[in-house]
Structure 1
């Protein structure tokens, strides 16, 4: 009987801990989109780990795929130039995987600029849990002008 009670306690604790960890990973990702909506470049930079990488998969008119890499500071500067609430990326948490200090997050999204649907795609985040909390180490996304529902 003691073993069963202990087992139930362990399962309940691990489920609670996993939910707390998942929530903190989501909060780290949500902070990025809040900073974008607020046109707050300083808050945006705080979302990323030192040396973070931002990439976008792009296709040219012939359909040839390439990868564009941006610096976090360059992205933050672009965000700072737009009006508050002009950029609104709406995400859906699809898959979140966590192992110790590593998290992987997949989020389909639709991006609105000045309340108009601009493009959609998917984000793939790799986060690391540093001393100050979860930080984005790697972000790659796709972007589609057509086919957004």
Structure 2
């Protein structure tokens, strides 16, 4: 009986460790993206992005109606390269919730965004990633942006 318990314990630990390793690899891709974001390094950001990535935000339009806004990736990377050098952008990632199935990962990451040390807005990022031979790549990012960060 002890032998079966030991074997079960070994297999359980193997699968727990394997899942943790996948989560670590996925988190590494997301953190690499933000390291590039904070350093105005679009090449670092691109290293963990698929070329056809989609960037979208759920935010209010001029009339206050919540809408999905699609960002032009080239323009976004250009803005990061230009403005992050002159302004202090800090996106604080609060936690990571993973769903991984084979080569697909979905990660939910609440955040606070600071501009020059002041809280600008908050929300959540939803990342979708695909595992290529050289690692996890971000397929899409959909985020929310709220001013009322106390809720």
Q: Tell me, yes or no, whether TM beats 0.5.
A: yes
> What whole-Å deviation, never above 9, does each CA across 1:7-57 have from its counterpart, x for those lacking one?
221111111111111111111111111111101111111121121111011
Question: Are the equivalent residues in 1 in contact too, given 2:94–2:112 (CA < 8 A)?
Answer: no
1:125 aligned partner: 127
Q: Displaced runs of 4+ in structure 1, greater than 2 A?
A: 1-6, 60-63
Aligned-residue CA RMSD in angstroms?
1.6
* TM-score, normalised by the number of residues in structure 1: 0.91
* Preserved CA contact (<8 Å) 1:35 1:41: yes
For residue 53 of structure 2, what is the aligned residue in structure 1?
52
Question: 1:65: how far off?
Answer: 2.3
Q: Distance in 2 between matches of 1:90 and 1:9?
A: 37
Once residues 38 and 121 of structure 2 are traced to their aligned partners in structure 1, the CA distance between those partners, rounded to angstroms, is: 16
Structure 1 position 68 matched with structure 2 position 69: yes
Q: Distance in 2 between matches of 1:66 and 1:48?
A: 24
Q: Write the distance in 1 (CA, Å) between the matches of 2:76 and 2:46.
A: 9
Distance in 1 (CA, whole Å) between partners of 2:99 and 2:65 is 31
Checking the alignment, whether the CA contact within 8 Å between 1:45 and 1:73 is kept in structure 2 is no
Q: How many residues end up aligned between the 2 structures?
A: 148
